[in-house]
Amino acid sequence: MTSSGSSSSAPSLQAYVGAELYSPRMFPNSCPSYQKASIKLFKVMKTQGDKQKLVLVDSQYFDNKDGLGHMLKNLTKGDYQIQFKKYSFGFDTFDFSARIYSDKHIKLIDIEESEIKKAKAKDEKKKQNVGGTNT
């Protein structure tokens, strides 16, 4: 997530950052309907040698009985990262929606998706170099 805004008119951007779980009534009777999760907001800081350091800005714990977990923050210009973690027993899966509300445009980037694309491109290049097949 990248916060953009002109530094001359506003040094920070007020935004609600959070996530939302689905309502318990959205699940069949056989599925566990109670879900809990946490969301953490980090600011990405550049360090020496092109490395990055994550600095915790805020975190919020919530469950689907509360509905959603949001933080109202004044974000300074820069890159931020949202981390979502579910808490449950076993290997149950559930969906969530990340939500950001702001007066100005905020660019969202899915880091996992971009890392997967990079890995696939690297594998494809490796196959081309050694004459591998797609089977």
With left for phi above 0 and alpha for psi between -120 and 50, is residue 90 left, alpha or beta? left
pLDDT tens digits, 25-82:
666 666 666 778 888 989 989 888 888 899 999 998 887 776 667 788 888 888 888 8
pLDDT of residue 67: 62
Neighbouring CB atoms inside 10 A of 96's CB total 17
Looking at residue 61, what is its pLDDT? 87
Cα separation of 19 and 97, whole Å? 5
Domains of the chain by residue range = 2-109
pLDDT at 101 over 50: yes
Position 65 scores a pLDDT of 72
CA distances from 48 to 1, 54, 55 (A): 22, 14, 15
Instruction: Tell me the per-residue pLDDT of 121-134, one tens digit each, with 9 for 90 and over.
Output: 888 888 888 765 56
Residue 40 to residue 57: CA distance in whole angstroms: 8
- pTM score: 0.66
Task: Find the distance separating the first CA and the last CA of the chain, reported in whole Å.
Answer: 37
